[in-house]
Chain A
């Protein structure tokens, strides 16, 4: 390789003479991360990204053996788990890592919310982040059906049927998701397409935008730290200090993932039978449990309207308002404390946690 033999320019001459990205290199050299008592929450985004990378690798490996048809799906996952060398581990890591990714996403979102990092000028980082969480949940929902077992089959029937209660477009959405009137092999094929093509494409594109925004604007310093008298908080270089600490977090996450996958291998359950009664204890993945539990408390009709429809519409409106919070919380935009939104955030966490615990306890009875 041809190298400039001067002390001032030791980088690979051949590459940099063709692609002048010195500005980018300089940017990362100068990039700094604020250090204060809430810095630990900055690592959650990186952890989520790491878990997504694991999802992509293990997902590609599973694709080598998985067959997305009503007849073959369950048997192919069984084959992966019992015959393919390390198949049980790859599938278990994929399932556990999906769950940890959702958990990490939720913690990332709530920490961002409570630290008011959504405030101006980071409105679009928050909105892209909200969309990323939505896509992550869609990944979980579509992946849940793929093993074609009893629980996932009925879980999908319930979830897609509740979509049908949306006025005007509900039935079209149901047919769109199911690939017909019923949950069948057509649904499995569709969910597979969403899971391995549509959602990865959307997530990757949004992730690039989200990361670019974070890189350009830098980390948000919470108003509680910003408003303190005295000098601005200290900073630490992004490279190598922050990246190395991030890598340590990834290593801990990998250790936790390996432990969970090895000690608690993900179960496959019983093959779905559309003509069997729904089994007792049917429930969705834990991250949808609070919605599932709420549906149980909604009466069949409220003011002669379907309770189901009111619940679905309410959750949709709350979700949209949540994504638009940077435009609603005006005090935070002016750099002021906004305790009402802090209470709303804590209330949302308490609601999700309590409803999830109640649903878990109810399913064990």
Chain B
């Protein structure tokens, strides 16, 4: 069996020990830096407002858990609800009564009254929610 010189052996051991310590330290630091995932209560529906809150051709932001949603009363008087998070870069959209569609102020992205991206940089439509009116309350729920 070939003998390993004493110096080489010590260098390998020292390198191994240093590498192990460095990996253990770095691993715990990286794990510490990335925040733990906090489970959120899954909401199936929320009350987005009351009948009478909105006039035709207007909209408002409501809380869907910890995310913003947008409730719209179209010019023809029907309710529509979408996620208010722009699919481009995470800004919160708004309803523009002068354009009669949904608008994102950050990069001039536009969505029609079905949530479809029609102009500007947004790459995909807004997530649409179901809307139901129950006892004067406007209930918004996620589509199955």
Q: Write the residues of chain A forming the contact surface with B, with a CB cutoff of 8 angstroms.
A: 154, 157-158, 160-162, 172, 175-176, 179-180, 182, 186, 274-282, 295-296, 298-301, 306-308
Binds A, one of B17-25, B49-57, B99-107: B99-107
A275 to B91, CA, bound (A): 10
> What's the minimum C-beta distance from B71 to chain A, rounded to whole angstroms?
12
Which residues in chain B, 91-144, are within 8 Å of chain A measured between CB atoms? 91-94, 104-108, 117, 121-123
A306 to B88, CA, bound (A): 10
A278 to B93, CA, bound (A): 6
Taking a contact as CB atoms closer than 8 A, the residue among A157, A276, A295, A300 that contacts B123 in the complex is A300
Note all chain B residues with C-beta closer than 8 A to A157: 89-91
Known: A276-B61, A278-B92, A308-B121. 11 other contacts (CB 8 A): A157-B89, A158-B106, A277-B61, A277-B93, A282-B91, A282-B105, A295-B89, A295-B107, A301-B123, A307-B123, A308-B89
Which residue of chain B has its CB nearest to the CB of A182? Answer: B66
Also in contact, A296 and B90, with CB within 8 A (given A175-B35, A275-B61, A306-B123): no
> What's the minimum C-beta distance from B96 to chain A, rounded to whole angstroms?
10
**Contact yes or no, B89 A162, CB < 8 A:** yes
> What's the minimum C-beta distance from B32 to chain A, rounded to whole angstroms?
11
Note all chain A residues with C-beta closer than 8 A to B86: 278
A59 to B16, CA, bound (A): 43
A-B contact pairs, 28 of them (CB 8 A): A154-B91, A154-B106, A157-B89, A158-B107, A161-B89, A162-B89, A175-B35, A180-B38, A182-B67, A186-B35, A275-B62, A275-B68, A277-B61, A277-B84, A277-B93, A277-B94, A277-B105, A278-B92, A282-B105, A295-B107, A298-B121, A299-B121, A300-B88, A300-B122, A307-B123, A308-B88, A308-B121, A308-B123
Which residue of chain A has its CB nearest to the CB of B91? Answer: A278
Note all chain A residues with C-beta closer than 8 A to B66: 182
Taking a contact as CB atoms closer than 8 A, the residue among B35, B38, B105, B123 that contacts A279 in the complex is B105
Residue B33 at the A interface, CB < 8 A? yes
Which residue of chain A has its CB nearest to the CB of B40? Answer: A181
Which residue of chain B has its CB nearest to the CB of A160? Answer: B90
Note all chain B residues with C-beta closer than 8 A to A158: 89-91, 106-107
Note all chain A residues with C-beta closer than 8 A to B93: 277-278
**Contact yes or no, B108 A274, CB < 8 A:** no
Which residue of chain A has its CB nearest to the CB of B117? Answer: A300
Note all chain A residues with C-beta closer than 8 A to B121: 295-296, 298-300, 307-308
> What's the minimum C-beta distance from A25 to chain B, rounded to whole angstroms?
40
**Contact yes or no, B123 A296, CB < 8 A:** no
Which residue of chain B has its CB nearest to the CB of A280? Answer: B105
> What's the minimum C-beta distance from B107 to chain A, rounded to whole angstroms?
6
Note all chain A residues with C-beta closer than 8 A to B91: 154, 157-158, 278, 282
Note all chain A residues with C-beta closer than 8 A to B67: 182
**Contact yes or no, B105 A281, CB < 8 A:** yes
Select the residue from B86, B93, B117, B122 with max chain A CB neighbours within 10 A: B86
Note all chain B residues with C-beta closer than 8 A to A180: 35, 38
Note all chain B residues with C-beta closer than 8 A to A160: 90
Which residue of chain A has its CB nearest to the CB of B102? Answer: A277
**Contact yes or no, A277 B92, CB < 8 A:** yes
Note all chain B residues with C-beta closer than 8 A to A182: 66-67
Which residue of chain A has its CB nearest to the CB of B107? Answer: A296
Select the residue from B33, B62, B90, B121 with max chain A CB neighbours within 10 A: B90
A154 to B121, CA, bound (A): 17
Note all chain B residues with C-beta closer than 8 A to A275: 61-63, 68, 92
Closest 9 CB pairs of A and B: A277-B94, A161-B90, A300-B123, A278-B91, A161-B89, A280-B105, A158-B89, A278-B105, A157-B90
